[in-house]
Amino acid sequence: MVDGQRFVDLHRPRRIWAVAAIHAEVDRLGALHDDLGQRFRPGDRLVYLGNLIGRGVAVAATIEELLLFRRALLAVSGVLASDIVYLRGGQEEMWHKLLQLQLAPNPREIMAWMLSQGIGSTLEAYGTTAEKAIAAARDGVRTITRFNNALREAIRFAPGHEALFSGLRRAAYTGEPEAALDVSGGATDGTGGVLLVSGGLDAGRAFEAQGDAFWWGAESFTRINRRYGGFARVVRGYDPTHGGLTIADYTTTLDAGCGFGGPLVCGCLSFAGDLLQIIER
């Protein structure tokens, strides 16, 4: 069976609204929510494709906007908590690793790389700075542990933030899990569902063996030239090359560069991943 703690079965949705990488662009997210709130109906699913935070300066405000919109949707009769899904992207994975940095053999190098990837704005959202993070990484295990304990306390102090981070999933899908586990390229049972990921996929690995390919496997994603298992389409929300909205034979990239000067994209998808509508804000 597919691990339900890491992956989400969307079952038979009416439609799927998939939000691309946000990168803490809260104004764009708020505008998109205003539009999406008029379109979302009971039976639909809403999947945020990771990279909710990082790069942009409004990290805390972005989390607050996500939580506020979730509450608004749940106030609609027929909308369930399970209809709203948040995936882990590269930014969230880095944040998770940062909170365990005392276990790393090379904390200074890892911290420097994370900062180069835009994690500094998330540090500031929870009351610290890049300079303090660098100093802690340089000082050793005890200082890093104290530094991370302070970050965890700041997250706990922000209502809903800890629950959102702990509830992040690796991927969401429609169709049968057995089809998802088959990487032969055939249609297997013919379900033809859609697999939604944050940043990538290695078509040579089984579904549950993807590991960090879901957020760092961008290059292998571009080489997908046949069905991955039983899925008709794989959809991702972040492209590190910023190539824009792209629809290929078996894949779709929804990223239009939010956080890098481009708009925020939300795609409305069918059960099989066909693109029905696009919202850009």
Residue 2 belongs to a domain: no
Enumerate the β-bridge partners of residue 46: 17, 84
Q: Identify the bridge partners of residue 265 per DSSP, sorted by sequence position.
A: 280
C-alpha closest to that of 138 among 119, 110, 99 = 110
Global pTM value: 0.94
Residue ending a domain, choose from 164, 191, 210: 164
Instruction: Look at residues 119, 142, 164 and tell me which one is the last residue of a structural domain.
Output: 164
Calpha distance 69→80 (Å, rounded): 13
- Other beta carbons less than 10 A from residue 169's beta carbon: 20
One-letter-per-residue 3-state SS of 244-265:
CCEECCCEEECCCCCCCCCCCE
Same domain assignment for residues 85 and 183: yes
| pLDDT tens by residue, the chain, 281 residues | 467 689 999 999 999 999 999 999 999 999 999 999 999 999 999 999 999 999 999 999 999 999 999 999 999 999 999 999 999 999 999 999 999 999 999 999 999 999 999 999 999 999 999 999 999 999 999 999 999 999 999 999 999 999 999 999 999 999 864 444 444 444 444 468 999 999 999 999 988 889 999 999 999 999 999 999 789 999 999 999 999 999 999 999 999 999 999 999 999 999 999 999 999 99
State which residues form the domain around 21.
7-89+168-280
* 3-state class (DSSP) for residue 111: helix
Domain count, the chain: 2
> Does 126 lie in the same domain as 76?
no
Do 159 and 179 belong to one domain?
no
**CATH at 84:** 3.60.21.10
210 in any annotated domain: yes
